[in-house]
Structure 1
Amino acid sequence: GYGGGTSEAAITSLDGVVISKHVRIAGDEMDQAIILYLKENHNLFVGEQMAERIKINIGCTHPPSRNEKMKMRGRDLSTGFPNEIEIDSEELSNILSPVVSTICEMIESTLEESPPELAGDIMERGIYLTGGGACLKGFDKYVSKRVHLPVKLAPEPLLSVVMGVGKLLENRELLATVETSPESE
C-alpha cells in the first residue's frame, strides 16, 4: 500500500511480517510530476489540489482503452492570467509512468527476497493493494502483468491502514509485538 509520500510492500505470514520494503515515492510524487509536466509542456501552473483531482479523475497506469479528458484551470506562466487547458488520460499515463514503475520495482524486489516456502501461498493468494494508489485506474492489472501474479484491491483500499491500526489497538498481545523502526522514533 502507499500513503501520500511512501509506498510499502510487505509479505506476511501467520507470524507477522516476513519481509517489507518501502520507497519514499507515492501519490505526492504523482501530483508533483503532474504539476511539473504542466509547467514545462503547457506553461500552466496548477496547485496540488488540482493535480490530485486530475490524478483521481482520469489518472491511469497505461494508455486506456477509452481516452478520458478533463479541463484544468491554473495560471498561465507567460501572462500571469487564469487559463484553462484540456488534458487526457493517455497523456496523464505517460506522466505517471515513472512513479508507477518505481513502485512496481519495489514490489518485484520484495517478492524476489521472499522465502521460497511462501512461494506457493503467494502464487495462490496473490497480492493485495491498499491505499489511494490502489485506486489508480489499471494499477492492479499493471502490477499483475509485471509480477505474473494475481493482484486484487483490498475491500476498502483507502481505509485499510486505519482498519488495521484499529484491530491492532483492540489486541493488546499483538500490540506488544509491534516494533518501531529507528526512522519513526
Structure 2
Amino acid sequence: MRRKHNLLVGERTAEEMKKQIGCVFPKEEEETMDVKGRCLLTGLPKVVTVSSTEMMDAFEEPVERIMEAIHSVLERTPPELVADISTNGIVMTGGGSLVSGFDKLVTARTGIHAVIAEEAISCVALGTGKSLADLNSLQDGTMNISRRRQMN
C-alpha cells in the first residue's frame, strides 16, 4: 500500500485485506475492496480501491521465500520420504496457508498435490498438546531416534 498507493494502513486493515481479497494464485474473478488509510503525501485520510491482482503482487516476495524453502526441504529429503510425500501430498498448516490459492500455487510449483489441513490455524498447537499429554510414552521413541542418528 505504501509503495503503490502512498497509503499507510493499520494492521487490522491489512489483515482484513488479506482475508477478503488476498490471493497468491490468479482468481477466476477479480475481487476489489475499498481501503481506508492515511495518505503519506498529504497526511489526510484517503480511500483507495485495491484488487486481488494487486494483492497477489504484494504477496510475491514473501511467497517466493516460502516456495524456495519448500524446494530446499524437498531437495534435502531422503528419496523414500519424497516418494511418500509425492504419493500422499503436502498438508499445509497455519494462517498463511489460508491465503486464497496457496495450495494451488504449491501444487503448480512442486508438482505435488497440496491440501490445507482442517483447523489449519490451530492444528499444530492441538497436535503439540496431544503429544505433550503422551510425553512419557513418546520419550523413549524420541531418544531412540536421537541415538540412532548419533550412531550413523
Please tell me the TM-score bracket, short chain as reference.
0.7 to 0.9
Q: Which residue of 1 aligns with 2:56?
A: 93
Structure 1 residue 107 corresponds to structure 2 residue 60: no
Do 1:168 and 1:175's aligned partners in 2 also have CA atoms closer than 8 Å? no
Superposition deviation, residue 121 in structure 1: 1.2
Higher helix share: 2
Q: CA shift at 1:168, angstroms?
A: 1.5
Distance in 2 between residues matched to 1:75 and 1:111, nearest whole Å? 43
Is 1:81 the equivalent of 2:44?
A: yes
Q: Any residues of structure 2 matched to 1:13-162 within 5 Å, and which?
A: 38-162=1-125
> 1:75 touches 1:83 (CA, 8 Å); kept in 2?
yes
**How far 1:112 sits from its partner (Å)?**
0.8
| 1:170 corresponds to which of 125, 133, 136 | 133
Amino acid across the alignment from 1:56: K
* Residues in 1 aligned to 2:101 and 2:29: alpha-carbon distance in whole angstroms: 12
Q: Does the CA-based 8 Å contact 2:97-2:120 persist in structure 1?
A: yes
> Across the two proteins, how many residue pairs are aligned to each other?
142
Deviations 1:96-121, CA, capped at 9 Å, x for gaps: 01211110110111011111122321
* 3-state SS of paired residue (1:71): strand
Q: Distance in 2 between matches of 1:99 and 1:73?
A: 24
Q: TM-score, normalised by structure 2?
A: 0.86
Q: Distance in 2 between matches of 1:144 and 1:122?
A: 12
In the TM superposition, what whole-angstrom CA distance separates every residue of 1:35-85 from its partner, at most 9, and x where no partner exists?
xxx122212111122111111111100332210001111111222121111
CA separation of 1:172 and 1:75: change in aligned 2, threshold 3 A? same
Identity %: 40
The structure in which a higher percent of residues are strand is: 1
Once superposed, what is the RMSD of the aligned Cα atoms? Answer: 1.7
Show structure 1 runs of 5+ residues with no match: 1-37, 180-185
Deviation for aligned residue 1:148:
0.5
Question: Based on CA coordinates, which of the two structures has the bigger radius of gyration?
Answer: 2
Segments of 5+ residues of structure 2 without an aligned counterpart are 147-152
